[in-house]
Structure 1
Amino acid sequence: MTQIVLNFDTGAMSALRKGPGQLAAEVKTAAVVRWYAEGRISQGKAAEILGISRARFLDELYRRRVPAVQTDIEELREELACLTG
């Protein structure tokens, strides 16, 4: 496993009321949610990276107000065209 080291001022952890382990988990989750929102990874891959179930990842998306469905208007139009024949 690859390890990435980030340095945070003690004041940042104090302001966020998180210890080092909690802050590391928060940063990792935030990054993975962002990658999903950008369409860079799937829900399944995001859940795998975080070591949680897909259902729990969906809960995390809801908590962070990130849409679970990553579809643009053109993709929706194409889907509707297929359905209406």
Structure 2
Amino acid sequence: MRVVSLMLPEHLDISEPELKILLAGELYEREKLSLGQAADLAGLSKRAFIEIMGMYGFSLFSKSEEDLLTDVANA
């Protein structure tokens, strides 16, 4: 695991847990992390991460038509 340090502007009112959720959600949407990996990065269970994603405007569903059709076929 790699540690990253960020210098955030003083006026930016964001907590570390919220920043982790935002980063994890973005990386999940970009298909850089699996759902489990994103949940781990956010410090949440998969279920909690799934529930909170919508609150932050992230989608659980892939933007790829092929992935969506595979998900529907496997449902």
- TM value normalised by structure 2: 0.71
Structure 1 residues not aligned, in runs of 5+: none
Partner Cα separation in structure 2 for residue 75 and residue 48 of structure 1: 23
Q: Which residue of structure 1 lines up, in the alignment, with residue 5 of structure 2?
A: 4
Partner Cα separation in structure 2 for residue 34 and residue 4 of structure 1: 18
Q: CA RMSD in A?
A: 2.6
Rg (Cα) greater in structure:
1
2:57 counterpart of 1:65: yes
Cα offset, 1:46, TM superposition? 0.7
Give the aligned residue type for 2:31: G
2:35 counterpart of 1:34: no
Structure with greater helix share of residues: 1
Cα offset, 1:63, TM superposition? 1.1
Give the aligned residue type for 2:35: Q
In the alignment of these two chains, the number of paired residues is: 72
Partner Cα separation in structure 1 for residue 36 and residue 43 of structure 2: 10
Give percent identity, aligned residues only.
17
Partner Cα separation in structure 2 for residue 75 and residue 50 of structure 1: 24
Cα offset, 1:67, TM superposition? 1.6
Give the aligned residue type for 2:34: S
> Structure with the greater relative contact order (CA < 8 A, sep ≥ 6): 1 or 2?
2
Partner Cα separation in structure 2 for residue 48 and residue 38 of structure 1: 16
- TM value normalised by structure 1: 0.64
SS in 2 for 1:44: helix
